[in-house]
A = this chain, B = another copy of it.
Amino acid sequence: MPQKPSLHTLLSPRLLDLYNVNDSIVVIIDVFRATSTIVTALYNGAEKVIPVSGVEDCIAIGKKLGAVTAGERDGKIIEGLQHGNSPAEYPRNFIEGKTLVLTTTNGTKLLHMALDRNASEVITGSFPNLSAVCDHLASSNKNIILGCSAWKDRFNLEDTLFAGAVISQIKKYFIIHCDSSLMAEDMYQLHCKNIYTFIKQTTHWHRLAGYGLEKDLEYCVTEDVANVLPVYKNNALIVCKS
């Protein structure tokens, strides 16, 4: 019987070089809110989402492509951009058929780091597309890195919980010799029944709820409400049609 592939959980972008990225599918996880917003825009018919690090790039690419530009800092739309980071800003009657150029801090950074290290595939995950991520990984027969984007390189719970949700579903397909993964699964099992209560204890909830974003945050931990698989191809995230 061939050996199962491996699964690891990355707790901070700062630790990425400790893992064998170049033979792995890397799942970019930024629950609050980049990867929740990306999958929502794509689920609602966006043609593609281009994640960029800098505001100037966002404006330039938006102008060149006639695309929607979006990004926030401290809960407010960045000057020069059109929209924010909330998944609620991208309903079908607005975003269908359009290209979204999105600048975020943590998720975008990890995505580009994974590309720079030649990940064999880069996809994005959050609770709204939990099943799509699990289905894809379970059938991939490839090594997996569940990449938590963290917050300014610090460990965060919401990304870890999502990693744990994935592990709970697909662990039988993988060899898991990874304390981060054991922990992530434990944390998800411990809190999955009361996730809307538990998530309010996290540092990121406090930070973002201060901007009046509670509804956004509850949406971001709701499973399978935008259940498509964003995959990175030709410099953009598009829906995987497999």
Interface residues of A (CB under 8 A from B): 11-12, 14-15, 18, 152-157, 160, 177-180, 182-183, 186-187, 190, 201-204, 206
Contact = CB atoms under 8 A, between A and B. Distances in A.
A30 B112 CA distance: 33
Query: Chain A interface mostly helix, strand, loop or mixed?
Result: helix
A154 B183 CA distance: 13
B14 A11 contact: no
Given A11-B11, A15-B14, A202 B179 contact: yes
A4 B18 CA distance: 36
A183 B153 CA distance: 16
A182 B201 contact: yes
B206 A180 contact: no
B154 A179 contact: yes
Given A11-B11, A12-B12, A177-B203, A182 B157 contact: yes
A187 B183 contact: yes
